[in-house]
Structure 1
Amino acid sequence: MKLSSHKLDRRNRFELSMTSMIDVVFLLLIFFMTTSNFVLTERNLDSTIKVDRGSSNAPSELEPVIIEVVRVDDEDVFRLGGRTLKTADELTQVLSSMPPTDDGAFVRVADDAPFGMAAAAIQACRAARI
Structure 2
Amino acid sequence: MKLSSHKRTHKRQITLDMTSMIDVVFLLLIFFIVTASFTKTERDLDAITKVNEKSSSAAKTDLEPAIVQLAEVDGSWVYQIGSNNMSTFAELQEVLDKFPNKADGAFVRAPDAAPYGMAASAIQACKNADFPGVSYVPLTQ
Q: What is the TM-score normalised by the length of structure 2?
A: 0.48
Paired residues in the alignment total: 74
The aligned amino acid for 1:127 is N
- Partner residue, 2:106: 105
Q: Distance in 2 between matches of 1:110 and 1:72?
A: 13
Structure 2 residues without counterparts, runs of 5 or longer: 1-51, 55-60, 132-141
Q: Determine if contact 2:79/2:86 at 8 Å carries over to the other structure.
A: yes
Runs of 4+ residues over 3 Å off in structure 1: none
Root mean square deviation of aligned Cα:
2.0
Secondary structure of the residue aligned to 1:71 is strand
The aligned amino acid for 1:66 is I
State the shift of 1:48 in Å.
8.6
- Partner residue, 1:68: 69
Q: Deviations over 1:74-122 (max 9, x none)?
A: 1010000110000111000001011242211000002211100000000
- Partner residue, 1:125: 126
Q: What is the TM-score normalised by the length of structure 1?
A: 0.52
* Seq. identity, %: 43
State the shift of 1:72 in Å.
1.2
Secondary structure of the residue aligned to 1:129 is coil
The aligned amino acid for 2:62 is S
The aligned amino acid for 1:102 is A
Structure 1 residues without counterparts, runs of 5 or longer: 1-46, 50-58
Q: Deviations over 1:17-72 (max 9, x none)?
A: xxxxxxxxxxxxxxxxxxxxxxxxxxxxxx896xxxxxxxxx923x2211001111
- Partner residue, 2:96: 95
Q: Determine if contact 2:70/2:77 at 8 Å carries over to the other structure.
A: yes
**Counterpart mapping for 1:28-107 below 5 A:** 60-61=62-63, 63-107=64-108
